[in-house]
Amino acid sequence: MIVLLLGAPGAGKGTQADLIKKKYGFKHISTGDLLRAEVAAGTELGKRADAIMKSGALVPDEMVLELLQNALKNSGKGAILDGYPRTAAQTEMLKNLISATGEKISAVINIKLSEKEIVDRIVMRRQCKKCGNIFNLRFIKNFDGKCPKCGGADVYQRPDDNETAAKKRLEVYHAQTAPVVEAFKNEPFYKEVDGNRPVEKVFEDICKFIER
Ligand code: AP5
Ligand code: MG
């Protein structure tokens, strides 16, 4: 079973993918996380991707495809694709890849959110290096620099989570990712979910659709 999570930067894809993974045991494949791991490891691919990601632009399709192909191996019960596909070409690449393995896309969930809320969420997002928890400073009173979930002290902000890069990412999303939505929006397995609600409410809708 393959579930695609679409949505603008900051829409809540990573947050929801983590919950889906815990509930259904699917593998969470975030191309953004895979690219950030390459950057952290200092690989050739990571070195090429680093500046592109910091600017808010998209990394070339072929570079991401290689990472995706490896990640899709051994997906077991299923996979949640978070942040892929992001261009018309990636949509075709994914369809070819999936038809070759006999898998199928069971759900395409598009999390919708207003632009103002998107930028606010992005600039206030933090993540814990120890447990991976994604959280938002807007919801934490007297933040002490520690992860609210595990207490880990290594909390970081992504280098592309500033206002300039966030606005660029939004522009890129509208220009390059709109055709992805077009490709799926008339399919019976496509669903739009209002992301401007508490995490649990958004998750409830997503679960209903996955289990339909
Ligand atoms: P990627 O890592 O995919 O980033 P993105 O698409 O910009 O999405 P984000 O991770 O910023 O947001 P999200 O939707 O996961 O939201 P989150 O759950 O964290 O990509 C980064 C870069 O990598 C790209 O710019 C590109 O360069 C490259 N890249 C990646 N994939 C690529 C591809 N396929 N092709 C080419 N290049 C690629 O939530 C955001 C914040 O909001 C958090 O603080 C969270 O706590 C909070 N929040 C979440 N849900 C709620 C809620 N319901 N209510 C209130 N707050 C909430
Ligand atoms: Mg994410």
State residue 76's pLDDT score.
Answer: 82
Model pLDDT for residues 8-32, shown as the tens digit of each residue: 999 999 999 999 999 999 999 999 9
Pocket of ligand 1 (CB under 6 A): 7, 9-15, 30-32, 35, 52-53, 56-59, 64, 83-84, 86, 90, 121-122, 125, 134-136, 160, 169, 195, 198-199, 202
Convert the pLDDT of each residue in 125-183 to its tens digit: 999 999 999 999 999 999 999 999 999 999 999 999 999 999 999 999 999 998 999 99
The band of 100, judged by pLDDT with boundaries at 50, 70 and 90, is confident
Least confident of 69-73, 107-111, 121-125: 69-73
Residue 33 has pLDDT above 90, yes or no: yes
Q: What are the residue boundaries of the structural domains of the chain, listed by start?
A: 2-113+175-210
pLDDT of residue 77: 85
Could you confirm whether 121 is annotated as catalytic? no
CATH code reported for the domain at 2-113+175-210: 3.40.50.300
Cα–Cα dist 128/14, whole Å: 13
Q: Let me know if 13 is a catalytic residue.
A: yes
Please tell me what DSSP assigns to residue 174: I
Helical H segments across 74-157, by residue range? 88-101, 115-123
Q: Kindly indicate the confidence band of residue 101, based on its pLDDT and cuts at 50, 70 and 90.
A: confident
> What is the pLDDT, as a whole number, of residue 114?
93
CA distances from 84 to 59, 167, 192 (A): 12, 20, 16
